[in-house]
Amino acid sequence: MRLMRVADSQSVAMESKSSVLKRWGNRRFRFGTVSIPIWVPYAFIIPFFVIFIIFMLYPIIDTFVLSFENWSSMGSKWVGLQNYKLIITDPGFWTSLLNDAFVLLVQVPVMLFIATVLAVALNNKSIRFKWLFRLLVFFPVLVDAVTYTIAFQIIFNTNFGVLNYLIHFLGIGNINWTGNPWAARMAIFIVVTWRWTGYNAIILLSGLQSVPDELYESAVVDGAGKVTSFFRITIPMLRPILLFCAILSTVGTLQLFTEPYILTAGGPGTATETPMLYLYGIGFQNYNFGLASAGTYILTTIIGILSYLQIRASKGGDYRA
């Protein structure tokens, strides 16, 4: 208000504007039996939106603009769709997408399956120390990606790692986890699964707790075994939450960066190159910001489409719907 008064005394043109503002500021909206000034909601959101626009919305739009330019610090040149063409025709980009597709098609379902079994086990009525199991299974969530990846570096070590040591007992020779393409993919697979299974299990557990016991009881009456009720009751009932987890995992997988960056640096060759590693190389090693922006938008579009398809695919057969 004080600011407005200062503006009043400064110019006549401002005065008419500020009196409009003042009249608007004096308007109130009813709220039950009392009313509050109409500007109050905006006062709550404006500080947020100022930062949000500068550091979130502007960058999102600017990336889009950059994707049509040949960026250089001296000045950028409009190049139309050339960046998109370059990315789409680069086999390196497709390789990185295919590597991610492997994680998406194999790791995500395996992880969600283990997480569901884990959630069912944690939900079992006759298990004691449940809170302790829950807490411990949840531990990987709090470790940051760099720390656990470095720990896994040693665990995966060809000659001295504990994993090869254990595998030895199965009668399998040493596996070169970072030197062999499929072993390296497996290594990334294991690290990601380790990090996110407990997290997903906790989310699924919350869903399980809302499944009525009677459903299982009537299944037992109908002669269904544990395995049958798992596939016929548990999984369908968890469907909306499994979907939520699947979307989160999809988005996360397409943004995989820290684990392969540290563990394999995308190698051997390009066996564990992910789209983010690929785009990071273009953007921050070659400083080709235009090209990297185009790639980012292609990736964001893919994430959007996959999320949409997952939502579509899960509709129908949904107990809640």
Partner 1 sequence: MRSSVPMKFLIYAFLIVAVIVSIYPIYWVYVASSLSDSQIFHYPPSNWFGSNFLDNLRSLESSMPVWRDLANSVFVSGITTVSVVLFSSMVGFAFAKYEFWGKRFLFFVVLITIMIPMQTTLIPLFLIITKLHWQNSYQALIVPFLVNGFGVFFMRQQMQAFPEELLEAARMDGSGEFKTFFRVVVPNILPSMAALGILTFLQQWSNFIWPLVVINDRTRFTIPLMLQQLDQPGNVIHYGPIFAGAAIGLIPLMVVFVCLQRYFISGIYSGSVKG
Q: How many CB atoms lie within 10 A of CB 176?
A: 14
Nearer Cβ to partner 1 (18/259): 259
Applying the rule CB under 8 A, the residues between 119 and 158 that interact with partner 1 are 121-122, 124-127, 133-148, 150-155, 157
Query: CB neighbours of 143 closer than 8 A, spacing ≥ 6?
Result: 195
Site stretch for partner 1 (CB under 8 A), options 78-86, 90-98, 100-108, 216-224: 216-224
Instruction: Using CB under 8 A, pick the residue from 20, 38, 106, 313 that binds partner 1.
Output: 38
| Amino acid identity, position 12 | V
Minimum separation from the CB atom of position 4 to partner 1 (A): 19
Minimum separation from the CB atom of position 213 to partner 1 (A): 6
Applying the rule CB under 8 A, the residues between 275 and 294 that interact with partner 1 are 276, 279-280, 283-284, 289, 292-293
Q: How many CB atoms lie within 10 A of CB 153?
A: 17
Nearer Cβ to partner 1 (40/106): 40
Q: What are phi and psi of 14, to 5 degrees?
A: -65, -30
Of 261, 137, 280, 116, nearest in space to 188 by CA: 261
Alpha carbon distance 260, 251 (integer Å): 16
Site stretch for partner 1 (CB under 8 A), options 13-21, 98-106, 299-307, 310-318: 299-307
Question: Cα–chain-centroid distance for residue 63?
Answer: 20
Query: CB neighbours of 69 closer than 8 A, spacing ≥ 6?
Result: 76, 77, 78, 79, 83, 290
Tell me the two tokens of residue 3: 């600011």
Nearer Cβ to partner 1 (95/201): 201
Instruction: Using CB under 8 A, pick the residue from 20, 28, 42, 109 that binds partner 1.
Output: 42
Question: Cα–chain-centroid distance for residue 104?
Answer: 12
Tell me the two tokens of residue 87: 């990315």
Minimum separation from the CB atom of position 255 to partner 1 (A): 5
Site stretch for partner 1 (CB under 8 A), options 4-12, 83-91, 100-108, 238-246: 238-246
Instruction: Using CB under 8 A, pick the residue from 184, 192, 241, 242 that binds partner 1.
Output: 241
Instruction: Using CB under 8 A, pick the residue from 7, 202, 224, 235 that binds partner 1.
Output: 202
Minimum separation from the CB atom of position 66 to partner 1 (A): 6
Site stretch for partner 1 (CB under 8 A), options 12-20, 24-32, 77-85, 90-98: 24-32
Instruction: Name the one residue in this structure whose structure tokens are 């690929």.
Output: 278
Does the footprint of partner 1 cover residue 176 (CB under 8 A)? no
Applying the rule CB under 8 A, the residues between 43 and 102 that interact with partner 1 are 43-45, 47-49, 51-52, 54-60, 62-63, 66
Beta-bridge partners for 77: 70
Site stretch for partner 1 (CB under 8 A), options 14-22, 79-87, 230-238, 300-308: 300-308
| Amino acid identity, position 72 | S
Count of residues near partner 1 by CB under 8 A: 101
Q: How many CB atoms lie within 10 A of CB 276?
A: 20
Minimum separation from the CB atom of position 89 to partner 1 (A): 21
Instruction: Using CB under 8 A, pick the residue from 84, 93, 278, 297 that binds partner 1.
Output: 297
H-helix segments, the chain: 2-10, 12-26, 40-52, 58-66, 82-88, 91-102, 108-123, 130-137, 145-155, 162-169, 181-208, 213-221, 226-229, 235-254, 258-263, 275-280, 289-314
Does the footprint of partner 1 cover residue 321 (CB under 8 A)? no
Minimum separation from the CB atom of position 246 to partner 1 (A): 12
Does the footprint of partner 1 cover residue 165 (CB under 8 A)? yes
